[in-house]
């Protein structure tokens, strides 16, 4: 069944995304959707990470990362790259990296 395939993408979110609980809220959203991966701040004031899960849940995650974010964040752009199909998840949960 095609819908059970696992997918992965890397992301970088630009705008006011540091100091606004963006990583914590990203982790909460991922847990709610059943998405695995990680998120972290960069020295260039962006947020980067990897998300893995079903295609349907990742579509919702992409929307959240590019349009919603945490309450105090202001997203100017979200780059999605390295989209690929997986045979198995590479992460067991969604973590905040420092």
CATH code at position 52: 3.30.70.100
Q: Would residue 2 count as lying in a domain?
A: no
Q: What is the pLDDT of residue 1?
A: 37
Question: What is the mean pLDDT for each group of 10 consecutive residues in the chain (98 residues)?
Answer: 77 98 98 98 98 97 98 98 96 96
Q: Which two tokens stand for residue 61?
A: 């995650």
The boundaries of the domain holding residue 11 are: 7-97
The total domain count for the chain is: 1
Q: Would residue 25 count as lying in a domain?
A: yes
Q: What is the pLDDT of residue 8?
A: 98
24 is an active site residue: no
The 10 Å Cβ neighbour count of residue 10 is 15
Polymer length in residues for the chain:
98
23, 24, 72, 82: the active-site residue: 23
Question: Is-contact 58 9, C-beta < 8 A?
Answer: yes
Q: What is the pLDDT of residue 84?
A: 97
> Whole-model pTM?
0.94
Q: Would residue 92 count as lying in a domain?
A: yes
Q: Which two tokens stand for residue 66?
A: 């590019």
Q: What is the pLDDT of residue 4?
A: 63
23 is an active site residue: yes
């Amino acid at each position: 069944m095609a819908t059970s395939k696992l997918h992965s993408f890397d992301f970088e979110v630009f705008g006011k995304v540091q100091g606004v609980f963006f990583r914590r809220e990203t982790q909460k959203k991922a847990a709610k959707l059943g998405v695995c991966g990680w998120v972290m701040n960069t020295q260039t004031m962006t947020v980067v990470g990897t998300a893995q899960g079903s295609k349907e849940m990742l579509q919702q995650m992409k929307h959240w990362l590019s349009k919603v974010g945490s309450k105090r964040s202001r997203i100017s752009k979200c780059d999605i790259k390295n989209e690929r199909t997986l045979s198995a998840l590479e992460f067991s949960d969604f973590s905040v990296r420092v």
